[in-house]
Amino acid sequence: MKQPDLTDVGTQLDVAKYRLMAAKDDLDTANLTFQAGKFRAANNRAYYSIFHTISAVLAKEGVAFKRHKDTISYFNKNYIHTEIFPKELGRKIVKAEEIRHASDYDTFYIASKEVTAQQIQTAEQLLCLAEKYLEE
């Protein structure tokens, strides 16, 4: 995919595509760090893949927030509760945010291989569903 020229003003779909590209990069990094046994870093990148994917979906309607909490809350209210995206995904997203926070800030948090694999799987699932949604 061609890198967008950030000096140009793009459409909402251009913004969504750019954010999806960031989400894919984050997911690639999550997988690489996971394979290297760096689970704390992999949790961080998996979460940011999720966050950038959500931001891509919201860009389709021209919505953006400064705080992650507001972005996720809006997504859950308007896309999960309305079942545009599966309800169980909403719970997984909230869990991913909690795990990312613990991985990044809790002194004694030990990131396990199993939990980290689940975070990456959530990011992959959301990314796949978001790509289909944005194609509509």
Give pLDDT, residue 9.
64
| 68 pLDDT higher than 90 | yes
Q: Is residue 5 a part of any domain in this protein?
A: no
Does residue 32 lie within any of the structural domains? yes
Main-chain phi, psi angles of 81, to 5 degrees: -65, -25
Judge whether 43 and 111 are in contact, CB under 8 Å: yes
CATH number for position 113? 1.20.120.330
The angle subtended at Cα 109 by Cα 106 and Cα 111, nearest 5°, is 130
Count of domains observed in the chain: 1
Res 7: pLDDT: 46
68 is in which domain, residue-wise? 12-135
* CA–CA dist 20, 106 (Å, integer): 29
Q: With respect to residue 70, please indicate whether it lies within any of the assigned structural domains.
A: yes
Contact 53, 130 (CB under 8 A): yes
CA distance 38 to 79: 32
pTM, entire model: 0.90
Instruction: Give the pLDDT confidence of 94-121 residue by residue, as tens digits.
Output: 999 999 999 999 999 999 999 999 999 9
In a domain, 1, yes or no: no
Cα–Cα dist 16/49, whole Å: 13
* DSSP-based three-state secondary structure for 51: helix
